[in-house]
Each structure stands twice: as structure tokens, then as C-alpha cells.
């Protein structure tokens, strides 16, 4: 059941009130400092961008005026600020209305100073508590009469239960060591000049409850939670109660009975806050602090002594005092890492606050119902009801006039001015219809005082009781008679008559009395019957009520579970949305990069296409010129060949060639005409050339090979440092001469040398050593030289046993066609001056 007295939510403009924004300009730290703020009147400040500001750089250096409900200059006192801004909110609180006051501004602009104050100068919060306790003193209920139900409501405890709890608290106070520390930030001495405020209902009982939370990095921490500090560091969730008020679920609410007690509780919270910050490595200016005073009131009974039992008679009003985090921008503070994340969260929550107010203003101006993003941050989610439901919202914009802060200050001023256009619904004061006489408490007090003042209270009381009973009269008084002897008989007769009349009257009265008794008995019986039937009805109603209560509790616990899961889902949704946003951002960045690359690629393609075209053109021209050159060379060579041919044919025609073997002739001819297809290659080694006489063409014949009667003499031609073979089978040449270089003509042209062997060693494609022996016959040429006709190749190859079997097996002897003739020719630097007409076997 909702403890709050239900109010009518009205939306007519008369019931709406704007957000009241006050501006407090803090004094300059130094006379020499440049200022960007000038106070024009009690409601107007002028902002003039100094030379270092962005506005100045953008040439927007004209003076701008901002109008607020009231502007407090640097020399204004804390008391003035409290009286103007917060006193009406405390009066509203006492009248049962809700209020929200927050301080907003750049770091160091005086938000905490304004809200909390220091040892010398108490801020708004302690002054509010002081004024409240002064006003309700004498009307406070006993402790634990009102008890929080953990669902943002309160219930009334019986006097016995409350007394038990008081006893319990007293015992624990004796056992616990009393706190000796005190927070220097607060001047805890009550000031004498705090005035008593209006709005107290003298027939009500009041109780004050305090909660103190901190919102840091968008997590809610309870600063009054008992137990280890780690418990305090567990984030709380925000919930909606049955009448759509937002509250921190499971937050610690402490009942305080005096200003001193309240300050002590606040100090405990401050201490926990500092400990938490040390653990979290946080800064106090980077968190939002919310100090909430909840005032519970309920009417007293007919004697004005005890609170009326029944939850529906309770009214709860609250005043939230919020010290927001500094609104500086991340780039100016050069934050990184955790500080950047904090700054991001602060900016997010302040941005959300701004967005919510902007949306609200727009909705109110245009009549459109755009969804206000309260849930985007914890601070706006918590105070949703002030903007959607009822309650006065006041804001103090704290401004540091120094020029360094001007860029942030102008943002703050703009936002604050805009906020004034937002309207909230006025709270209606709580009304209690207890059906009891107003002023009963006072009357009862007076009555008691008078009662105590009486000298003999007991006797008087009895008298009063007797006088207040029903007085029966038996008719007229006895007539007065004087006893006279002469007239004695008449006197007796008169007396007898009078007595008879009295007896008759008495009988009538007795009869009437009996009749009345009967009537009363009947009525009593009737009432009794009615009472019994009502009792039966009541008990059945009670049973039904209990059943419904049980159902309600079940529904409530289900609702809690659903709310939890809803919160969880919301949180997850929020996370996912953030993720989607960041992914979208990444995607956009990648898309941008891709587009840039595509453009770059296109540019490169164009560039290279042009380059290729140019290069192709150039190549074409080059090739064409080379081709022409080649053609010219070819033509020249052809011409030379023709010339040679002509010379040869002249020689052939001129000389008598009958003695020459035909084969030699044809070979020479062939050699001259097709030098490239010859097996033996003409060497450049002039030493081995047969000196050309007038003919210049060497002639040789295989039949002219040297005699072998004395056995073949080998000319072994090998490398200077051959690789040792270490093989069992070694190439063996019986009668040989080894040379490493064919430098002397006699080595070949020697009459005895009939065989030539070139030994070459090289690695095959698998990296194995391959030894090849190119063998040939040495044939003397007609010019006195010699030529070698290769007719055999021996190949010796060593293979590793690990070599893959798939690899081609080496053969001891390879086919002559496999021999790279160019290679052989280059190795055998021997001059060939003709060759056999038949294809050599090499």
C-alpha cells in the first residue's frame, strides 16, 4: 500500500511552475586575474569573452546577458543564499511537498562550498537541517514509531514495538564505541539566528530520515550502509515504487532526531566516501552526491498524544540536495585512462541532464510527447519524478569568473538559462482527513496543564463526575408545614394526600423506568445482534483482506523480480546500444577508410594506366628502332656472307680441289654456311688455330685419326682443384697427360695425342655431385692443327641414400642428345676446324 497521501496530478498551466535558476558568482582568487563575468543587476550577469576564449577567436566577442531568478555576487553570504534559495524548499518539505535543489558548474566554481560549506561558513545542507529541526521541535514522534518498509514507503509501529527498538538501540550504543572524529568541513554548531519556519501542522507528528548516496561512473553507492567498506562499494539499483516515484532500492535510511545527529550521519557518509575514493582511486569532484531529507508526518489521535495507526494516514515529503560533478570538458583537462572514463561518464550524465531538460522544454512548448531519455543516466533516472510528477526544482549555477574557465562558463550559463523554460508541476500540500477535531493537541495540552494546576484534583474530579450524572426529580418540594394543635387533623390529611401523590408519582416513574429499561434492553439486544453480525462480517472481511494482502505481497515480490530483470535488461540494452554505437562508429570509420582507399586505388590505377601507356609507347618506339637496327645488321651479315660465299666459290673455281676429300669440302662449306648448327664450336682461342694460309678454312677428316699402334694417348683436361670423388670406381686413363688449361698448341697438335677427355664436375638439380667425362678423338686438320670429335660421355653420380625414390635415377652413361653441347664447348676451349659429315656421337 502506498504510504503517501495521494495527490491530484494536474497539468493546467496554473499548477505548473518553472525551474528556478539562481546564479552564484564566486569571488576572484586574485585581483590581477582576468574576469569574464560582470554582474549587471540582481538578476542579470554579462559574459564578455576574454582574448583567450574560443568565442573571441571566432570573432563572437560581443557581451552576452544572462537573466536568472537571482544573482548572488561574490560577497554574498551563505545565509543569504540559503534564505533565498533553500528556505522555501524547507517550508515546502514541512508542508508535505517535494523539492530538488542542485548545484551545477565548472570544477572549483563553488558547488560544494554552496551546498555543504566549511567550518566557518555552513552551506545550504546543514542550514536546511537546522531550520527543519528547529521548526518541528516539539512535534517529533518518538524514535522508531515510523519505520521504512524498504519499498520507499513507511509504516507505523505500535508503541510497544517502537519502545523495544529504542531499547535495542540504546543497548547497542552502550556496547559500541562512540565516534570521536568529526568532519572539519561542517560547522556542526547550530547557529542562534536560524529562524523557525512556517508550515507545521500542530496536530501531526514528524520524523526525519536521511539517505546519502553517491553516483560515480554511473553507479550508485550507498554512503550510509553499515558493514565493511566493500559493501558500500556495491552498486545499487534504481527502482520505481507503486506510485511511480523513483528510489534507490535497499538504500540505508537513518532516522535522526536532532541537527547534531543528522550532521554526525552526514560525516559518517563523508568518511565512507573518502575511503571509497581511496579504494576506487577516484576524485570527489568527479562524482555526484545526493543527500536526501525525508520528512514523514501523520496525524495524532484524539488526545493528540500518539500517531494514528494506519499507513494511509502517512505523508512522506522529500528534499534532495545534489552536488553535481564538475562540468569541465575532457580536452581541456588533458585526461587519459580512468580520468577520461570518469570525465566521459560525468559528461554523459550532465549531457543526459541537459538533453532531458531540452526534451522537456520542447515537449512543453510544442505539445509533442517525445520520449525523454531519463534512463540514459542514473542521476536523471533518479529524479525523473520531479520532472514528470510533482515537485519544485531549483538550481544554483556556480560560476567562477576567471577568464581561464570562460569557455566552460558560457556553456554552463547557456544551459542554466535554458533550464528556466522548463516547467514542473507544483506540489499540492498534503491534507489529512482523520475526522478528528483540529487543534486537539493544543487543547489537550491546555487541559492537562489546567488539570495539574488544580489544588485538590481528586475531590474536584469526583464532584465533576457527580454533577455530570442524570438527576431525577420527584416533583415539587415538600411543602412547609407548621405543627398546630388545633389544626392537627387537617395537617395530617394534607400530608397523607401529598404522600399519596408522591407514591403515585413514584409508581409512574418506576413504571416508566421499567418501560425504559425494557426498551433499552431491547435496543441493547438489537445492537448486540448487529454487533455480532458485524463482527462475523468483519472477521470474514479480515480473512479476505489477509488473503488479498497475501496475493498483493506475492504480486509485489513478483513485481520486484520483474523490476530486477527489467533493470538488468535495461542495463544490458544500454550496454548493447553503446556497443552498437561504437561498432557503428568503427564501421563508419572503416567505410571512410575504404572509400579513401578506393579513391586512392582509382588514382593509382589512372596514374599507372597513363604510365603503362607511355612506357608501352616508349618500348614500342625502342623496339622498333632495335628491330630496324637488327634488320640492318642482318642485312649487313647477309651481305658479308654473300661476299664470303662469293670468295669461296671463286677459290673453289680457281684452285684444283680434286685432291681434297669431298667430305672435307662439304664440311667446310657447311661450316661456313651454317655455323650455328655445327656440333663443334669455333673457339676464340687463337693459340690453337691452325695458322690460316691464303685459304683460311681448316679441313679435317675422321679417317685421318692418329695411329694407335702404340696405344691411345689421352689428353686429360680437368679443373685445377677437382672435388675428391672418394668413389670405388674411379675414371682411369692409362696413357695420359693432364692439363688444367689448353694453353700450349702442342698439347693437342702433338702427333701422339689421339684421345681427348674433358672432366667436368658440377652439382645437379638435386645438389648432388655429378662428374662427367666428355671423350673424343683428336683428328689432325689439314692446316696442321687438330680438332676433337666428341663421341662419348661418361657420367658418374653420387646419390644420397635418403634421396626420394621418385627422383630420377642417375644413369652411368647418358644419351649424347642430353649433353649440353654449348656447355661442353665452352669448357673445352679447343679449336675445331671442321668436323665429320656424319653427326657425332657425343
Ligand X SMILES: Nc1ncnc2c1ncn2[C@@H]1O[C@H](COP(=O)(O)OP(=O)(O)OP(=O)(O)O)[C@@H](O)[C@H]1O
Which residues of this protein are in contact with ligand X, per CB under 6 A?
26-27, 105, 107-113, 118, 285, 326, 398
**Sign of torsion over alpha carbons 508, 514, 519, 524:** positive
For every residue of 549-583, DSSP letters joined together read: HHHHHHHHHHHHHHHHHHHHHHHHHHHHHHHHHHH
State the nearest-atom distance from the C-beta of 25 to ligand X, in Å: 8
Count of H-run helices and E-run strands, the chain: 19, 23
HSE toward the beta carbon, residue 253, CA cutoff 13 A: 23
How many angstroms separate the CA atoms of 523 and 289, rounded?
66
- Of the pair 185, 833, the CB lying nearest ligand X is at 185
423 within 8 A of 16, measured Cβ to Cβ = yes
Q: Give the DSSP per-residue string, 432-493.
A: ----SPTTHHHHHHHHHHHHHH-SSHHHHHHHHHHHTSPPP--SSPPPP----STTHHHHHH
Q: Which is nearer to ligand X, 398 or 778 (CB)?
A: 398
- Give ∠ CA 54-58-59 in degrees, rounded to 5: 120
**Which residue is listed with cell 407548621?**
482
- HSE at residue 255, side-chain half, CA atoms within 13 A, is 18
Would you say 109 or 392 has its CB closer to ligand X?
109
Any idea of the CA torsion for 597, 598, 603, 604, to the nearest 10 degrees? 70
**Measured from the CB atom, is 34 or 510 closer to ligand X?**
34
**CB 427, min distance to ligand X, A:** 28
CB of 291 to ligand X, least distance (A): 14
> In angstroms, what is the minimal distance from the CB of 228 to ligand X?
27
Spatial separation of the C-alpha atoms in residues 142 and 158, rounded to whole Å: 11
Tell me how far apart the alpha carbons of residues 675 and 390 are, in angstroms, rounded to a whole number: 115
Query: What span, in angstroms and rounded, lies between the C-alpha atoms of 472 and 479?
Result: 19
CB of 23 to ligand X, least distance (A): 12
Q: What is the 3-state secondary structure (H, E, C) of 779-791?
A: EEECCCCEEEEEE
- Report CA-CA distances (Å) from 769 to 221, 400, 726: 83, 91, 12
The answer to whether 395 and 111 have CB atoms below 8 angstroms apart is no
CA gap 11, 16 in Å, rounded: 7
Known binding-site residue numbers:
105-112
Minimal distance in Å, beta carbon 377 to ligand X? Answer: 17
Contact 403, 49 (CB under 8 A): no
Q: What CA–CA distances, in Å, run from 725 to 252, 716, 730, 762? A: 98, 17, 8, 12
- Minimum distance from CB of 113 to ligand X (Å)? 3
The H or E element that residue 388 is part of is helix 384-388
Closest C-alpha among 290, 324, 287, 342 to residue 419: 324
Q: Which one, 107 or 318, has the nearer CB to ligand X?
A: 107
- In this structure, the number of other CB atoms found within 10 A of the CB of residue 61 comes to 13
Residues with Cβ within 8 Å of residue 218, at least 6 apart in sequence: 345, 348, 349, 377, 378
Q: Which is nearer to ligand X, 409 or 753 (CB)?
A: 409
- Smallest gap from Cβ 340 to ligand X, in A, equals 17
Using the minimum distance from each CB to ligand X, give the nearer residue, 55 or 110: 110
The residue (of 107 and 345) whose beta carbon lies closer to ligand X is 107
818: left (phi over 0), alpha (psi -120 to 50) or beta: alpha
**Nearest distance in Å: CB 386, ligand X:** 22
Q: Cβ 327 to ligand X, closest distance in Å?
A: 8
- In terms of CB distance, is 86 or 699 closer to ligand X? 86
Minimum CB separation from ligand X for residue 189, in Å? 19
26 or 402, CB closer to ligand X? Answer: 26
The beta strands (E) that lie in 143-198 are given as: 146-148, 154-156
Which residues make up each annotated binding site for ATP?
A: 105-112
The C-alpha atoms of residue 527 and residue 521 are separated, in whole angstroms, by: 10
Report the residue number, 287 or 701, with the smaller CB distance to ligand X: 287
Parallel/antiparallel/unpaired status of strands 736-739 and 713-717: parallel
Cα–Cα distances (Å) from 140 to 156, 168, 207, in that order, read 14, 20, 6
Residue written as grid cell 550524465: 349
**CA angle in degrees (0–180, nearest 5) for 140-144-150:** 115
- Minimum Å gap between C-beta 411 and ligand X is 15
**23 versus 205: smaller Cβ distance to ligand X:** 23
CB of 333 to ligand X, least distance (A): 11
Q: Based on CB atoms, which residue is closest to ligand X, 113 or 774?
A: 113
Nearer to ligand X, 194 or 327 (CB): 327
Write the burial class of residue 794 (CB in 10 Å: 0-12 exposed, 13-18 middle, 19+ buried): middle
Residue 300 is classified by DSSP as: B
| Cα–Cα nearest to 828, from 719, 734, 752, 726 | 719
Sheet of 64-67: strand order equals 37-39, 44-47, 64-67
Q: Are 188 and 260 within 8 A, CB to CB?
A: yes
**Strand pairing report for 20-25 and 16-18:** unpaired
Among candidate residues 45, 54, 49, 21, the one with its CA nearest the CA of residue 36? 49
In the complex, least distance from residue 34 CB atom to ligand X, rounded to whole angstroms: 18
Which residues of 691-735 form beta strands (DSSP E)?
713-717
Indicate the residue among 108 and 126 with the shorter CB distance to ligand X.
108
Closest distance to ligand X from the beta carbon of 79 (Å): 12
Amino acid at each position: 500500500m502506498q504510504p503517501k497521501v495521494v495527490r491530484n496530478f494536474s497539468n493546467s498551466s496554473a499548477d505548473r511552475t518553472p525551474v528556478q535558476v539562481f546564479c552564484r558568482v564566486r569571488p576572484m582568487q586574485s585581483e590581477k586575474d582576468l574576469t569574464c563575468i560582470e554582474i549587471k543587476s540582481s538578476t542579470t550577469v554579462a559574459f564578455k569573452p576574454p582574448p583567450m576564449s574560443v568565442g573571441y577567436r571566432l570573432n563572437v566577442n560581443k557581451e552576452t546577458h544572462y537573466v536568472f531568478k537571482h544573482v548572488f555576487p561574490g560577497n554574498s553570504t551563505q545565509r543569504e543564499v540559503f534564505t533565498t534559495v533553500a528556505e522555501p524548499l524547507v517550508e515546502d518539505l514541512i508542508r508535505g511537498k517535494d523539492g530538488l535543489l542542485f548545484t551545477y558548474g565548472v570544477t572549483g566554481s563553488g558547488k560544494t562550498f554552496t551546498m555543504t560549506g566549511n567550518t566557518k561558513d555552513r552551506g545550504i545542507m546543514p542550514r536546511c537541517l537546522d531550520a527543519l529541526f528547529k521548526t518541528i521541535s516539539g512535534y517529533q514522534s518518538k524514535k522508531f514509531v515510523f519505520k521504512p518498509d524498504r519499498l520507499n514507503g513507511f509504516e507505523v509501529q505500535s508503541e510497544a514495538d517502537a519502545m523495544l527498538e529504542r531499547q535495542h538501540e540504546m543497548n547497542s550504543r552502550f556496547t559500541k564505541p562512540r565516534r570521536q572524529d568529526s568532519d572539519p568541513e561542517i560547522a556542526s554548531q547550530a547557529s542562534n539566528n536560524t529562524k523557525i519556519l512556517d508550515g507545521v501542522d500542530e496536530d501531526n507528528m514528524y520524523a526525519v530520515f536521511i539517505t546519502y548516496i553517491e553516483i560515480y561512473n554511473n553507479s550508485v553507492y550507498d554512503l550510509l550502509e553499515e558493514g565493511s567498506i566493500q559493501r558500500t562499494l556495491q552498486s545499487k539499483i534504481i527502482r520505481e515504487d507503486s506510485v511511480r516515484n523513483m528510489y534507490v532500492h535497499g538504500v540505508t535510511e537513518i532516522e535522526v532526531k536532532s541537527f547534531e545527529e543528522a550532521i554526525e550521519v552526514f560525516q559518517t557518509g563523508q568518511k565512507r566516501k573518502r575511503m571509497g575514493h581511496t579504494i576506487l582511486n577516484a576524485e570527489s569532484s568527479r562524482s555526484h552526491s545526493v543527500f536526501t531529507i525525508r520528512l514523514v508526518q501523520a496525524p495524532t489521535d484524539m488526545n493528540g498524544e500518539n500517531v494514528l495507526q494506519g499507513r494511509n494516514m502517512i505523508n512522506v515529503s522529500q528534499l534532495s540536495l545534489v552536488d553535481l560533478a564538475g562540468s569541465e570538458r575532457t580536452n581541456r583537462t588533458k585526461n587519459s585512462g580512468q580520468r577520461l572514463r570518469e570525465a566521459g561518464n560525468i559528461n554523459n550524465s550532465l549531457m543526459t541532464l541537459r538533453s532531458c531538460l531540452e526534451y522537456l522544454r520542447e515537449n512543453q512548448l510544442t505539445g509533442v510527447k517525445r520520449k525523454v531519455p531519463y534512463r540514459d543516466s542514473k542521476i536523471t533516472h533518479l529524479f525523473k519524478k520531479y520532472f514528470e510528477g510533482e515537485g519544485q526544482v531549483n538550481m544554483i549555477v556556480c560560476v567562477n569568473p576567471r577568464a581561464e574557465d570562460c569557455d566552460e562558463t558560457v556553456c554552463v550559463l547557456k544551459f542554466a538559462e535554458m533550464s528556466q523554460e522548463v516547467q514542473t508541476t507544483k506540489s499540492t500540500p498534503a491534507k489529512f482527513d482523520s475526522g478528528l477535531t483540529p487543534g486537539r493537541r493544543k487543547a489537550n495540552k491546555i487541559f492537562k496543564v489546567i488539570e495539574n494546576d488544580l489544588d485538590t484534583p481528586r475531590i474536584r474530579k469526583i464532584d465533576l463526575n457527580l454533577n455530570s450524572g442524570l438527576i431525577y426529580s420527584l416533583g415539587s418540594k415538600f411543602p412547609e408545614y407548621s405543627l398546630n394543635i388545633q389544626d392537627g387533623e387537617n395537617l395530617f390529611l394534607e400530608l397523607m394526600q401529598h404522600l399519596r401523590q408522591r407514591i403515585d408519582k413514584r409508581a409512574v416513574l418506576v413504571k416508566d423506568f421499567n418501560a425504559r429499561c425494557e426498551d433499552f434492553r431491547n435496543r441493547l439486544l438489537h445492537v448486540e445482534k448487529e454487533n455480532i453480525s458485524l463482527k462475523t462480517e468483519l472477521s470474514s472481511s479480515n480473512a479476505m483482506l489477509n488473503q488479498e494482502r497475501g496475493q498483493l505481497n506475492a504480486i509485489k515480490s513478483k513485481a520486484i523480480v520483474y523490476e530486477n530483470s527489467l533493470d538488468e535488461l535495461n542495463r544490458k540494452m544500454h550496454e548493447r546500444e553503446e556497443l552498437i554505437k561504437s561498432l557503428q562508429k568503427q564501421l563508419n570509420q572503416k567505410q571512410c577508410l575504404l572509400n579513401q582507399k578506393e579513391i586512392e586505388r582509382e588514382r593509382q590505377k589512372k596514374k599507372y594506366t597513363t604510365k603503362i601507356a607511355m612506357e608501352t609507347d616508349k618500348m614500342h618506339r625502342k623496339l622498333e628502332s632495335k628491330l630496324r637496327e637488327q634488320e640492318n645488321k642482318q642485312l649487313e651479315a647477309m651481305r658479308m656472307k654473300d661476299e664470303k660465299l662469293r670468295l669461296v666459290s671463286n677459290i673453289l673455281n680457281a684452285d684444283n680441289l680434286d685432291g681434297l676429300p669431298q667430305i672435307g669440302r662439304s664440311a667446310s662449306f657447311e661450316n661456313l654456311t651454317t655455323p650455328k648448327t655445327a656440333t663443334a664450336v669455333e673457339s676464340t682461342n687463337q693459340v690453337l688455330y691452325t695458322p690460316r694460309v691464303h685459304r683460311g678454312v681448316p679441313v679435317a677428316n675422321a679417317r685421318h685419326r692418329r695411329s694407335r699402334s702404340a696405344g691411345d694417348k689421352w689428353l686429360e683436361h680437368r679443373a685445377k682443384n677437382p672435388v675428391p670423388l672418394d668413389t670405388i670406381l674411379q675414371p682411369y686413363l692409362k696413357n695420359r697427360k693432364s692439363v688444367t688449361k689448353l694453353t700450349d698448341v702442342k698439347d693437342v697438335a702433338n702427333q701422339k695425342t689421339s684421345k681427348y677427355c674433358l672432366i667436368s664436375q658440377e652439382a645437379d638439380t638435386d645438389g648432388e655431385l655429378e662428374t662427367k667425362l666428355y671423350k673424343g678423338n683428336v683428328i689432325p686438320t689439314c692446316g696442321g692443327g687438330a680438332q676433337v670429335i666428341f663421341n662419348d660421355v661418361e657420367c658418374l653420380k653420387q646419390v644420397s641414400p635418403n634421396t626420394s625414390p621418385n627422383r630420377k635415377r642417375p644413369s652411368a652413361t647418358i644419351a649424347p642428345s642430353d649433353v649440353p653441347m654449348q656447355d661442353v664447348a665452352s669448357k673445352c676451349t679447343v679449336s675445331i676446324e671442321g668436323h665429320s659429315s656424319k653427326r657425332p656421337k657425343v
